[in-house]
Structure 1
């Protein structure tokens, strides 16, 4: 299956890190790790499908050098002899019975690395990431991939305390590791979520309906030509019909109109600024032209900081009437409150003056006029 450069880059870096922690009988030096990476890059780079062939040389050089930097920084911070690695690229097969359907499902995968602290006996599940984004610890606690790994190992060693594991993502480009200690509740949540997802997949299989779910990962997918979200882009020229030509023209027309609308919005903003400046300079409230006249109105818009007003609304026993805090509801409710409460709440009031230009078209006679939408 053809792969993009990012996928190949991730595979080679993972392989080099795996090699780094292998002891045969000594751990490899940094130079040996770099040699391993360089050799495998030369072998694998030939199979890369480049999105922009004209930039192949530049892009390949950038990825290769980034891999060198990642490995050097990682080795400097993580000398392999400092860790007690139990397993590298360990495969697992997890049997997951579903009590609702009576079916047992099998989840299989590979864990990048499993360490064990010889002093505490605690295990650490480590997954390497070559992406740029680092999630928060709160996100990490709900990470499905690490959750499944944790579930698999607790099933492999049922007598072991599920709390005796740490799960970690190591972000190679940042040379930083983010870790959490999953709870028993997290374990149950992961199991329930996986089973719920499997049931949804089974229902889609039964209905023959798999709605596409586009994401930033679509660019790395090898099945775009089969996907309803992307298939049209890859449609072969010889299979196109008159309907395809009609749709192509409709799409072109859509974007032409959209472009024209955007251009008009920009021009209206420029016209508004010109009119306001002139009317302020000349002290005018209305200006006249061939097509009609434009009137300037200054409106006062009031808003109240609902969160700061909350204690006073609660003391007045009306907070529940506001329900989900809403400025509009609060404005309506304000006049019914005791005066001292009103005074406290009005301290959080802010006023904003909005200038509105209202165009009016002339049809025929001097008094035959038609108002247009507001230009704010």
Structure 2
């Protein structure tokens, strides 16, 4: 199986979308940010691609940008012009910064295909530089509106894939993994530890395994709907591109049913709020008067205290650490402690000590009503 970062990230975002794009070969709709990003990337590639001791001139650089500008996806000529001019401004600053200390990179837009436990990882690395130490710096250009945090870089799967590819290609551990954000013309660098690469490898292998098993369920997220709502069971009915079958219960008017359902749920919510307010008044009355049950004409209401029992983490932790059992309940959860108490391997004395630590963690009043029995007539 051959997988790129783009394919992996698409699967993690939505397995069904992965299937539609990479297996069914449906084409994504053009987007302005795709065209803008590709145009900037091509220009930065040109800046270094001659592999000469000096960069192109600024006029050559901007001319290349203009001649290779991508115009797909923009809603209007005005929007396209706005992005084009923004790109010129970005590249003008890029040239000013990077032409001063220009050095020939090891590789530009490097296409890699490397084996990872039977999977072929493929992709393009924007730029590879040699550092003074002789080690490598992997540079990936970004053109989005938001500057990433260092925490995001530390967890970035794409950079981990580039690390793996570079190590397997040049047999050198990359010293720096750098995002160069074009809008800000600012680099931000990180590194990878062996455990991070191990974790990234596990994630990639799981994606590969799930694809082989045909797991292509839809996953709703903040970017929904995608370009293919007609093929998604979450959005197909809304877009009515493929007719959704009627509900089993005969000729159900779905829009009316939805309206009735929501209105009914809203009524229930309001009634629950009203019932809670009245219930609080009853509880206060009972507490003031010292009653646990009060009576009306048809019903009685009983007030009872509901207690939730559990354990305080610090108290239990000390006991379990002494017996080398704390790892069995990490992270702390009272349910795990209770489950541990059923372990036949735990000594009776320790169980007894832990049980003695059980206490009321929280409590609330609960109302229970019942219909009064009718009085028998004499």
1:82 and 2:82 matched: no
1:370 is aligned to none
Unpaired stretches in structure 1, ≥5 consecutive residues:
51-55, 100-104, 368-376
1:293 and 2:297 matched: no
**RMSD of the TM alignment (CA)?**
5.2
1:360 and 2:372 matched: no
2:129 is aligned to 115
Query: How far apart in 2 are the matches of 1:171 and 1:214?
Result: 29
The more displaced of 276-285 and 227-236 is 276-285
Deviation at 1:283, TM superposition (A): 5.8
- Are the counterparts in 1 of residues 107 and 129 from structure 2 also a CA contact under 8 Å? no
SS in 2 for 1:169: strand
Deviation at 1:356, TM superposition (A): 1.3
Query: How far apart in 1 are the matches of 2:147 and 2:200?
Result: 23
Deviation at 1:110, TM superposition (A): 2.5
1:372 is aligned to none
Query: How far apart in 2 are the matches of 1:65 and 1:262?
Result: 51
Equivalences for residues 1-376 of structure 1 within 5 A: 1-12=28-39, 14=41, 25-26=55-56, 28=58, 44=71, 47-48=73-74, 71=90, 75=94, 79-82=98-101, 84=103, 86=105, 90-96=109-115, 106-117=120-131, 119-129=132-142, 130=144, 132=146, 134=148, 137=151, 140-141=153-154, 143-157=156-170, 160-161=171-172, 163-170=173-180, 177-183=187-193, 194=204, 197-204=207-214, 210-219=216-225, 221-236=226-241, 239=243, 242=246, 246=252, 248-249=254-255, 250-279=257-286, 285-299=292-306, 301-315=308-322, 317=323, 319=325, 326-327=333-334, 329=337, 337=349, 351=360, 354-362=363-371, 364-365=373-374
1:53 is aligned to none
Deviation at 1:242, TM superposition (A): 5.0
Cα deviation 1:10-52 (Å, max 9, x = unaligned): 44554565577688855639xx87x969x95xx73x73369xx
Deviation at 1:175, TM superposition (A): 7.0
- Are the counterparts in 1 of residues 55 and 99 from structure 2 also a CA contact under 8 Å? no
TM-score (norm 2): 0.62
TM-score (norm 1): 0.62
- Are the counterparts in 2 of residues 295 and 359 from structure 1 also a CA contact under 8 Å? yes
Cα deviation 1:165-200 (Å, max 9, x = unaligned): 422334567876543333566667656754554454
Deviation at 1:92, TM superposition (A): 0.5
Deviation at 1:94, TM superposition (A): 0.4
Q: For residues 314 and 131 of structure 1, do their structure 2 counterparts lie closer, same or farther at Cα, with a shift above 3 Å needed?
A: same
Query: How far apart in 2 are the matches of 1:228 and 1:96?
Result: 36
The answer to which structure, 1 or 2, has the higher relative contact order (CA under 8 A, 6+ apart) is 2
Q: For residues 90 and 231 of structure 1, do their structure 2 counterparts lie closer, same or farther at Cα, with a shift above 3 Å needed?
A: same
Query: How far apart in 2 are the matches of 1:136 and 1:211?
Result: 32
- Are the counterparts in 1 of residues 140 and 180 from structure 2 also a CA contact under 8 Å? yes
- Are the counterparts in 2 of residues 9 and 67 from structure 1 also a CA contact under 8 Å? no
Deviation at 1:248, TM superposition (A): 2.1
SS in 1 for 2:177: strand
- Are the counterparts in 1 of residues 106 and 130 from structure 2 also a CA contact under 8 Å? no
